[in-house]
């Protein structure tokens, strides 16, 4: 039983490391590709219209969402938010409870 628990932890840790590695590879690809598009944009029209920002913005939004999911950076509903709220409502006075 203990051996199965260690194997489960190992595989979860390995999956997490692979997800982090994939995120950083995606981030490096983003920086290289957006840099290339910026250079191309400058070479074509000296940034009279910075069209490369559209690609940078779209891909950047995806990276932000991936980072929030991967690293648990959600400021509104963090890892322990649900547990803290349950404890808060359980410890609160019933007369102050709006959710009767």
Overall average pLDDT of the 52-80 stretch: 88
User: What pTM does this model have?
Assistant: 0.70
According to DSSP, residue 80 is labeled T
- pLDDT of amino acid 1: 59
Span 72-86, pLDDT tens digits? 777 677 667 777 878
Q: How far is CA 25 from CA 19, 22, 32, in A?
A: 10, 5, 11
b/e per residue 71-99 (b: at least 16 CB within 10 A) = eeeeeeeeeeeeeeeeeeeeeeeeeeeee
């Amino acid at each position: 039983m203990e051996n199965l628990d260690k194997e489960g932890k190992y595989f979860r840790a390995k999956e997490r490391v692979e997800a982090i590695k994939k995120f950083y590879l995606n981030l490096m690809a983003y920086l290289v590709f957006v840099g290339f598009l910026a250079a191309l944009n400058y070479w074509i029209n000296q940034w009279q219209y910075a069209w490369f920002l559209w690609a940078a913005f779209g891909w950047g939004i995806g990276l932000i969402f991936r980072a929030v999911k991967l690293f648990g950076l959600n400021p509104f509903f963090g890892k322990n938010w649900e547990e803290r709220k349950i404890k808060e409502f359980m410890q609160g006075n019933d007369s102050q409870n709006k959710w009767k």
